[in-house]
Copies of this chain bind each other. A is one copy, B any other.
Amino acid sequence: SSGTPEFSSPDGRFTFGFGGRIQYDGSTTSGSRFDGESGDLNSRNIAGTEFRRVRLDVEGQITDPILYKIEMELANSTIGLRDVYLAGQRRFELGQGIVYLGSKFADSGLDGRTSSKWTWFTDRNVVSNDIDGVPGSYNVGLTTAFYGNHDDHISFAVSKGSTNESQTSSNNFLVRSRAHWNPINTGDVILHLGANGYYKDFDREREPNFVDRSVIAGAYNDNLRVTGPVVDAKDSTSWGLELAGLAGPFAAGAEYGSLNVNSRSGGDAHLEAYSAQVGWSITGEQFGYSTKQGVWTLPEIENPVTSGGMGHWEIMARYGAINSDDTRFGGGSGHGTTFGVNWYLNRFARLILADTIWTTNNKQSTLVGAPTDGYNGHDDGNTVNARAQIVF
């Protein structure tokens, strides 16, 4: 279906296919008061390009109800495993059930569960970055989902594992759940309601401290983060709410997330984030949205440039805010407003251009090699992010 080859054994039971993605990003920041200590050292006003994601995967089925996948991330010089699983699926009267064993992209939230191939902007919203994605975007363990017959689903996952091979302490324990429902779905008009949450234990040897550094204006600039509290964490609990809607060429989404981190030495730290986004498809098609999984996805492209058309064009705006102020554990806050343009040339190629006006107010630096002032106190500026993307 995606255009890449898929093979099958003579009896058709074993199948084997390939996929991949390239996301090549550019970023430039200006206006920060942290403009370099001596010359170009420790400046937030930096520019450049990087490969955000370079992925290859193989996937298929072993026999009718059993699936497998190996996906690897190549962009960071180390090999990253992403989806690596065995799965079994079954059709029931009330819907479809599926069980994954291994590493599976987590069902964390509306933006959090959206594939990086189809997020509206170059990065997910702050609720995903700072709350529901904090324990990692991949669940290593057992992941289950049930897709109902009426535009709804519920998932439940237990994680106690990692992809690293040197194990000198128990893996952290994490449970996650998410559900969504589309009470309205006329095809043209869709309403999305969702809720999500997780609970995580911290093994003191494996992860002695909860540390938080959240993307506010694109992932490229590592000096530009909202730094949260540092907590000698015992466990953490999170919950989130999702509201979204589509009507013809218009789409909107809003999310709220809350995270509580309990300290071993007593007390707790609290983080929260919210985000809202609106979009309009200039070329008239609906935004991509899956009523099965309750996530954003590839939109319809009525006139691909490869058929002489102009592709699918969207303009969109987003506001997001992070608040992790904490006297004892030292969290900061920040917010950003982003305006962007999305151009799908065809289903394989896409360009994004977006500008974020941001503010941060950090209390401490958790960045190794940070400057003496730690990018602390009030700062604001402007960041332009761009992406060229190929998906196959």
A residues near B (Cβ < 8 Å) are 3-5, 7, 9, 13-14, 16, 18, 20, 22, 24, 26-27, 39-43, 46-52, 54, 56, 58, 60, 62-64, 66, 68, 70, 72, 74-81, 84-86, 101-103, 140-141, 160-171, 203-205, 219-223, 304, 306, 345-346, 348-349, 367, 369, 388, 390, 392
Give the residues in chain B near A349, CB-CB below 8 Å.
Answer: 62, 66, 86
Query: Do B70 and A56 touch (CB < 8 A)?
Result: yes
Query: Do B222 and A62 touch (CB < 8 A)?
Result: no
Give the residues in chain B near A163, CB-CB below 8 Å.
Answer: 50-51, 54, 75, 77
Q: Complex formed: what's the CA distance from A63 to B62 in Å? A: 30
Interface majority SS (helix, strand, loop, mixed), chain A: strand
Query: Do B204 and A168 touch (CB < 8 A)?
Result: no
Number of copies: 3
Give the residues in chain B near A72, CB-CB below 8 Å.
Answer: 74
27 inter-chain pairs at a CB distance below 8 angstroms, sorted by A residue, are: A4-B7, A4-B14, A4-B16, A5-B16, A13-B306, A22-B85, A24-B84, A24-B85, A24-B101, A26-B161, A40-B204, A41-B204, A46-B168, A46-B169, A46-B170, A48-B160, A48-B171, A49-B140, A50-B164, A50-B167, A52-B165, A56-B70, A63-B306, A63-B346, A63-B348, A86-B390, A165-B219
Query: Do A221 and B62 touch (CB < 8 A)?
Result: no
Q: Complex formed: what's the CA distance from A220 to B169 in Å? A: 10
Give the residues in chain B near A70, CB-CB below 8 Å.
Answer: 20, 22, 54, 56, 74
A6 to chain B, nearest CB (A): 10
A330 to chain B, nearest CB (A): 21
A238 to chain B, nearest CB (A): 22
Query: Do B167 and A46 touch (CB < 8 A)?
Result: yes
Give the residues in chain B near A205, CB-CB below 8 Å.
Answer: 40-42
Give the residues in chain B near A78, CB-CB below 8 Å.
Answer: 77-79
Query: Do A348 and B62 touch (CB < 8 A)?
Result: yes
Give the residues in chain B near A56, CB-CB below 8 Å.
Answer: 58, 70
Query: Do A222 and B48 touch (CB < 8 A)?
Result: no
